[in-house]
């Protein structure tokens, strides 16, 4: 994104662009979410998009990330996620995510595009997942030191197990999943993975 001279960026244009990008991606996949289509739906020019994002992939990654987090929280603001914050995230925020069909559709689209558009998955990994994963690994290491997690637990494997279980629950299981069941599932998942909650 550019920080050069000229008119200040319009927050309304940013919002319109991000909403258009995520809607088109959910509806039509990567091909349907072209820069032209996104600009048209957002009511802006192609130049406006390119002043903010260098590539379509960068735009889609930010749009998907904003939708997942509500647009309020940046990973740079997290600092070190302590054990209580990690547990709160897993028992307060994640259950809400598991109940959102829009995020299930987006996640399915993203995973479905992995073979034909590996650059999108790579951009999502490096721009969204990797920074959050690094924060969580720091948190898990601190939990090991504090005795809330066994010393021999591999944080990478722990995160893969938790993420895999959450993806399976989000995308594969068709049975109803009410809010109280989602929270109980997340708590059971943490306990099963070895975390003292």
Same domain, 100 and 52: no
pLDDT of 8? 63
End-to-end Cα, the chain, rounded Å: 40
Q: Are residues 91 and 61 in the same domain?
A: no
**Angle of helix 155-171 relative to helix 179-192, nearest 10 degrees?**
150
Least confidently predicted of 74-83, 147-156, 165-174: 74-83
Confidence of residue 39 (pLDDT cuts 50, 70, 90): very high
Beta carbons of 179 and 97 less than 8 angstroms apart: no
pLDDT for 141-165, tens place per residue? Answer: 989 999 999 999 999 999 999 999 9
> For residue 188, what pLDDT is reported?
95
CA atoms of 9 and 6, how far apart (whole Å): 9
Of the two residues 109 and 71, the one the predictor is more confident about is 109
Structure tokens at 68: 């997942």
Residue 3 has pLDDT above 80, yes or no: no
Question: What predicted TM-score, i.e. pTM, was given to this entire model?
Answer: 0.75
What does the alpha-carbon distance between residue 54 and residue 1 come to, in Å, rounded to a whole number?
7
Q: Are residues 42 and 80 in the same domain?
A: no
Which one of 47, 72, 97 terminates a domain?
72
Structure-token match 């009410």, residue found: 178
Q: What is the pLDDT of residue 88?
A: 87
HSE-CB at 44 with a 13 A cutoff on CA atoms is: 24
In a shared domain, residues 3 and 84: no
Domain that holds residue 50: 1-72
Report yes or no: 103 and 170 within 8 Å, Cβ to Cβ: yes
- Residue where a domain terminates, one of 21, 47, 72: 72
The CATH number of residue 34's host domain is 1.10.10.60
- At residue 16, the 3 state secondary structure works out as helix
Residues 160 and 116 in one domain: yes
Tens digit of pLDDT for each residue in 93-124? 889 888 888 888 888 998 998 898 888 888 88
> Number of structural domains, the chain?
2
SS3 at position 138: helix
Q: Identify the domain boundary among 32, 52, 72.
A: 72
Does the pLDDT value for residue 71 go beyond 70?
Answer: no
Domain co-membership, 130 together with 91 = yes
Q: Kindly state whether residues 48 and 88 are assigned to the same domain.
A: no
DSSP letter assigned to residue 75:
G
Q: Quick one: 31 and 65 in the same domain? A: yes
């Amino acid at each position: 994104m550019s920080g050069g001279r000229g008119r200040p960026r319009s927050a309304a244009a940013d919002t319109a662009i991000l909403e258009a990008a995520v809607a088109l991606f959910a509806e039509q996949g990567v091909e349907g979410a072209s820069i032209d289509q996104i600009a048209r739906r957002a009511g802006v020019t192609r130049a406006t998009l390119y002043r903010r994002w260098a590539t379509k992939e960068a735009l889609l990654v930010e749009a998907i990330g904003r939708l997942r987090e509500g647009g309020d929280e940046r990973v740079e603001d997290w600092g070190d996620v302590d054990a209580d914050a990690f547990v709160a995230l897993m028992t307060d925020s994640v259950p809400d995510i598991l109940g959102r069909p829009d995020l299930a559709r987006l996640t399915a689209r993203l995973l479905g595009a992995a073979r034909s558009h590996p650059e999108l998955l790579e951009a999502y990994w490096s721009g969204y997942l990797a920074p959050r994963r690094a924060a969580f690994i720091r948190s898990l290491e601190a939990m090991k030191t504090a005795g809330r997690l066994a010393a021999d637990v591999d944080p990478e494997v722990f995160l893969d197990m938790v993420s895999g279980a959450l993806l399976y629950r989000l995308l594969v299981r068709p049975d109803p999943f009410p809010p109280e069941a989602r929270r109980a599932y997340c708590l059971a998942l943490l306990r099963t993975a070895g975390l003292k909650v």
